[in-house]
Structure 1
Amino acid sequence: MAVKVLVVDDSSFFRRRVSEIINADPRLEVIGSAVNGKEAVELTRKLQPDVITMDIEMPVMDGITAVREIMQQTPTPILMFSSLTHEGAKATLDALDAGALDFLPKKFEDIARNRDEAVSLLQKRVGELARKRLLMRRPARPAISAAAAPAADRDIRKPLAGHTSAATTAAPARPAARVARPAARFKASGKKYQLMAIGTSTGGPVALQKILTKLPANFPYPIVLIQHMPATFTAAFASRLNNLCKIGVKEAEDGDTLKPGMAYLAPGGQQMMLEGRPGAARLRILDGGDRMNYKPCVDVTFGSAAKVYHDKVLSMVLTGMGADGREGARMLKANGSTIWAQDEESCVVYGMPQAVAKAGISSEDLPLERIAERILVEIGMA
């Protein structure tokens, strides 16, 4: 069955263009279009699409408000189209905060090196996001009593499957009260670190925000962040994180000296490498290179971190399409560093983490909501 898509944009030309591209893939089908956010909310409720493509600036109701209402009423994977400006970046990040899962530049020539590649990328993004629909709309798992699921018997690296207790089935006339399942406890490995490194792509802005906002101001290591993102977006994203987090966050600049409690976001369109020695390492910001698929590239930064910090890196590969990060993570592991991957259920796209997990490189697969907790346990701050 084809993936059903609702196209939302106030431009008839852009609606037609996007619809033609989506319908050109036999696995995808445009089932409707809307000219503003209010109409998008109504059609989502009526047509139940698998994926929505959404413009940001529209009359009657803007895209961000529409995303927020759709996620409250009929949760659906949403792909935003954004202008590559500072204002467009801020609006797109607001849309992701509201619940959108991904974004693409509205000018197709900014998406990729040629039209065919841009068309393929849009089709692939829509197909990937459709996989999240069932997870977004499935009913909550039944409650389970603490006695029925002792934490010691659960492996935190796998999704926890709930079930109904005997007490619940014995009294159907009176619904049982929900009792929170105790979370499995983490244990520190005992390893010592001097750097934390995180690589991510699709779904990464929200994932990074959830993790970094939970870290204390006195976090003992510098952090390097590699997020696949256009050049005009990274400054706005770094500023947003800096305002939300207790740690400091900045867009990385050439020559930056790595400091504890500071996170450095690789600038879009360029590569970020580390040089020097632990305790006195610096960042090099280099030209992205025409032959590189990703700018910034997780493999590039992870590989350079392995050369400088050897076995002292705590690294994570989060949600994202493709396999960027696998080879860099392989280098980190070969040097004795630790690699974790985000688990499949909590990913927007289980591509990059899956590549690391399938290769046997990651030592733990973790749900997004508990990664910050796992970090603090591992470094002795919890």
Structure 2
Amino acid sequence: MNTPVRVMVIDDSAVVRQVLTGLLSQAPGIEVMAAVADPVLAIERLKLDWPDVIVLDVEMPRMDGITFLRMVMQQKPTPVVICSTLTDKGAKTTLEAMAAGAVAIVTKPKVGLKQFLSEAGDELVQTVKAAAKANVRRLAAGRPAPLTPVAKNTADVILPPSTARAMTQTTERVVALGTSTGGTQALEEVLTTLPRVSPGIVIVQHMPEKFTAAFAARLNTLCQITVKEAENNDRVVPGRALIAPGGRHMVLKRSGAQYFVEVVDGPLVNRHRPSVDVLFRSVAKCAGANALGVIMTGMGDDGAVGLLEMRNAGARTAAQDEDSCVVFGMPKEAIKRNAAEKVIPLGAIGQEIQRQLTL
């Protein structure tokens, strides 16, 4: 019999603790070992027993979640899922927690917890189970976006597969990156290595709405290249990275020799919006051999089919290796499908991007 994933819930709201405990306790394979009101109480409880996963609020009395998270990562690195309210202020604070080593974000409402119970329960359960399998060594190194359940659509619901090969190679290059769990730290590590003269980059990071704008703004302060949350008709140009906004898909378009993006509504694809498969398919159709696709750390299989479509269209493709991933789900599925020409460590992805300029 499989050992259940043992979870500690830390939230100052008694109602939230009750709801989260109920959600997780009802799920097969999960045991809630403790639910406490703040990190100070959690520290006392941890002296007796240690969980497999911690579900953590970030704004609490006596000690904030980020301070507690850093203590945990120093003492005994443990997968932490941030359960945060969907606000602009909360997004910035939560991203600090992700930078400190949290593995995923699950959003909680200020009101309507019963609705949360019915709509987001599976998301929380699947995220906690995936977090339990995370590469804690990578989390401890400070290099570490949640599943949304429902029918698993393919990219067909947003745009059809290509029936024609993209135009021949040109001097304009596009780099497409797709990532999920562990991707916030991984993208930071990659993008901060790039010089100002770098190919144009389009990115899907599985992340809720509001969080992507704060994430892009934070990266923009750290990188030599410009990083922004994508808007309709944003040009894909050298020295700029565009991150798909949470809650919407992003597709690449081409007008003459120029690339730009469209941000579109639509159903979830592979249980995600934005979806890596949607972005990669559009890159295969519009850029073909002028593109590089890299699938990075993340749970699930979003992006594997799209990366294969990119490779079949003549693009260069790569997958992040298992040792440097927090969760080896997405790259593993791409490798299974023979979608990746090469498998490379996280530290080599920046070099692979720069190589596009010399092709």
* TM category, shorter: 0.7 to 0.9
1:332-343 alignment runs, 5 A limit: 332-343=310-321
Amino acid at match of 1:322: G
Report if the CA contact (8 A) 1:109-1:115 is conserved: no
Separation in 2 of the partners of 1:304 and 1:133? 31
Matched, 1:217 2:196: yes
Match of 1:362 in 2: 340
Aligned CA distance change for structure 1 residues 378 and 213 (closer, same or farther; 3 Å):
same
1:24-173 alignment runs, 5 A limit: 24-107=26-109, 115-116=117-118, 118-132=120-134, 135=137
Deviation at 1:133, TM superposition (A): 6.5
Separation in 2 of the partners of 1:210 and 1:348? 13
Match of 1:325 in 2: 303
Amino acid at match of 1:67: L
Percentage identity across aligned positions? 40
Aligned CA distance change for structure 1 residues 108 and 4 (closer, same or farther; 3 Å):
farther
Residue from 269, 272, 275 that aligns with 1:297: 275
1:146-295 alignment runs, 5 A limit: 194-219=173-198, 221-277=199-255, 279-289=257-267, 293-295=271-273
Report if the CA contact (8 A) 2:19-2:117 is conserved: no
Structure 1, 278-287 or 95-104: larger mean CA deviation: 278-287
Report if the CA contact (8 A) 1:36-1:59 is conserved: yes
Report if the CA contact (8 A) 2:103-2:139 is conserved: no
Separation in 2 of the partners of 1:66 and 1:213? 27
Deviation at 1:132, TM superposition (A): 2.6
Structure 1: tracts of 5 or more residues without a match: 139-190
Report if the CA contact (8 A) 1:129-1:348 is conserved: no
Equivalent position SS for 1:46 = coil
Amino acid at match of 2:43: V
Amino acid at match of 1:210: E
Count of residue pairs the alignment pairs up: 327
Equivalent position SS for 1:345 = helix
Separation in 2 of the partners of 1:53 and 1:25? 15
Query: Taking structure 2 as the reference length, what is the TM-score of the superposition?
Result: 0.84
Residue from 329, 346, 349 that aligns with 2:324: 346
Structure 1, 60-69 or 290-299: larger mean CA deviation: 290-299
Structure 1 stretches of 4+ with a deviation exceeding 6 A read: 108-111
Amino acid at match of 1:72: Q
Report if the CA contact (8 A) 2:175-2:353 is conserved: no
Equivalent position SS for 2:314 = coil
Equivalent position SS for 1:60 = coil
Amino acid at match of 1:121: E
Aligned CA distance change for structure 1 residues 109 and 119 (closer, same or farther; 3 Å):
farther
Equivalent position SS for 2:224 = coil
Report if the CA contact (8 A) 1:319-1:351 is conserved: yes
Which fold has the larger relative contact order, with Cα–Cα distance below 8 Å and residues 6 or more apart in sequence?
2
Structure 2: tracts of 5 or more residues without a match: 141-169
Deviation at 1:330, TM superposition (A): 1.7
Equivalent position SS for 2:258 = coil
